[in-house]
Amino acid sequence: MSEYIMEVNDLKTHFHTKQGIVKAVDGVNLRIKPGEILAVVGESGCGKSVTSQSIMRIVGQKKSEQLSGEVFYHGEDLLQKTEAEMRKIRGKHISMVFQDPMTSLNPAYNVGTQIAEMPQIHENKPKKAAWQRAVEMLKKVGIPSPDKRASQYPHQYSGGMRQRGVIAMSLSCDPDLIIADEPTTALDVTIQAQVLDLLRRLRDETGTAIMLVTHDLGVVAELCDRVAVMYAGKIVEEGTSEDIFDRPKHPYTQGLLHSVPRPGHAERLQPIEGQPPSLHDLPEGCRFADRCPFVMEQCRNEQPDLLTTETPGHTVACWLEKEGVEDDNRRTRPRQQPEETF
Ligand SMILES: Nc1ncnc2c1ncn2[C@@H]1O[C@H](COP(=O)(O)OP(=O)(O)OP(=O)(O)O)[C@@H](O)[C@H]1O
Ligand SMILES: [Mg+2]
């Protein structure tokens, strides 16, 4: 049996549009161990949400949405499952938390009823026992007076409480994997930190693995065991939090780290210049080449594969790694500082 609960191999999601084929996900590989928190990070539009939705088979149903590759969950390929089989997996074994809690909550029903529905459907729990479970889950996610709150409607909850409610719903059937797509992006900073703390506590208590999708590298350092960095439909670097934050290899990862405020790093923030390539007109070589401060000729002609670095488990798709460029100046050269000073 594999040590992973999920193994995504060469996942591709291509959308056929009037403008051409949009390669939103284009050969993604991911691995998640039981109880692990994996962050998938990258700029807006790089394919993070489409990756999550493809794993859950929320996309890929229409003729214009072409899905390929493998998504092994406990050794079974989800891409080969029928829709009826997927319905049994979603919510029960793998659940999803979206950015906007109102995607998951129906304004017409009280929150308790909506959470209770999950164990009723998936575990045939009688109504009363399912309601008890809902109250218990609300308590677990830190909602005060859960008995009373369960009978209230989503509009009676604050934004942060609604997201806690959705997390309670996602936990109600004791899944072994939660895919949380920007679960805190719509919340203000203090509440964001509380919800992230909650996710970590729940993982510690329940042992559920979490795939946390975010464009904000700043939020993941403390929370995640592993980080996968995504760029233009591909994973360009993957490793433990320490690998990614202390010894990033890919110039894109280095650029991301320079562009977000981080505790203990006082240097001036430097956004990565330029834009990612269009997903329906991708370059032949490395997709980051146009923005890369270390670009070489080879980078423009050939796409680099993910290679293991000197640290086992830390992989990077960059020709600098392949070429074994040992010129430390090159690797650690500070990114050019802008000339003007304030
Ligand atoms: N149904 C669709 N048809 C065509 N293109 C699509 C479709 N869904 C998504 N895309 C495109 O796929 C790309 C990846 O989108 P995705 O939503 O996965 O990005 P993301 O990394 O989640 O970004 P964000 O951080 O903004 O949420 C985008 O360019 C988007 O426009
Ligand atoms: Mg998204």
Question: What tens digit of pLDDT does each residue of 209-234 get?
Answer: 999 999 888 778 889 999 999 999 99
User: Which residue owns the Cα nearest ligand 1 atom 25?
Assistant: 44
Nearest atom of ligand 1 to the alpha carbon of 214: 25
246 and 323 part of one domain? yes
pLDDT recorded at residue 150: 97
**Domain closes at, from 174, 209, 234:** 174
CA–centroid distance, residue 333 to ligand 1 (Å): 33
Q: What's the pLDDT band for 339 if we cut at 50, 70, 90?
A: very low
Domain containing residue 331: CATH number: 3.40.50.300
244 and 290 part of one domain? yes
170 and 186 part of one domain? no
Tell me the pTM.
Answer: 0.91
Q: Stretch 93-122: mean pLDDT, rounded?
A: 93
**Domain closes at, from 110, 140, 174:** 174
Q: How many domains, in total, are found in the chain?
A: 2
CA–centroid distance, residue 20 to ligand 1 (Å): 15
Q: Stretch 286-313: mean pLDDT, rounded?
A: 94
Residues with CB under 6 A from ligand 1: 15, 17, 22, 24, 42, 44-50, 215, 279
pLDDT recorded at residue 327: 45
Distance CA 12, CA 241 (A): 26
120 and 228 part of one domain? no
User: Per-residue DSSP letters for 179-209?
Assistant: EEESTTTTS-HHHHHHHHHHHHHHHHHH--E
81 and 188 part of one domain? yes
Q: Is residue 340 part of a domain?
A: no
**Domain closes at, from 174, 204, 223:** 174
Residue pair 103/74 in contact (Cβ under 8 Å)? The answer is no
Residue 54: nearest ligand to its CA?
A: 1
- pLDDT digits 0-9 by tens, 238-277: 999 999 999 999 999 999 999 887 777 777 888 899 999 9
Which residue segment(s) compose the domain that 329 sits in? Answer: 1-93+176-335
Residue 48: nearest ligand to its CA?
A: 1
119 and 89 part of one domain? no
User: Which residue owns the Cα nearest ligand 1 atom 18?
Assistant: 47
pLDDT recorded at residue 1: 67
Residue 45: nearest ligand to its CA?
A: 1
55 and 127 part of one domain? no
189 and 259 part of one domain? yes
3-state helix, strand, coil in the chain (%, to 5): 35, 20, 40
Q: Is residue 280 part of a domain?
A: yes
Nearest atom of ligand 1 to the alpha carbon of 52: 18
42 and 80 part of one domain? yes
Mutate to test the pocket of ligand 1, among 13, 22, 97, 185 (most ligand atoms within 8 A of CB): 22
User: Which residue owns the Cα nearest ligand 1 atom 19?
Assistant: 45
Q: Which residues of 11-45 are buried (b: 16+ CB within 10 A; e: fewer)?
A: bbbbbeeeeeebbbbbbbbbbbeebbbbbbbbbeb
Residue 17: nearest ligand to its CA?
A: 1
Nearest atom of ligand 1 to the alpha carbon of 182: 27
Q: Where are the beta strands (DSSP E) in 114-168?
A: none
pLDDT recorded at residue 162: 93
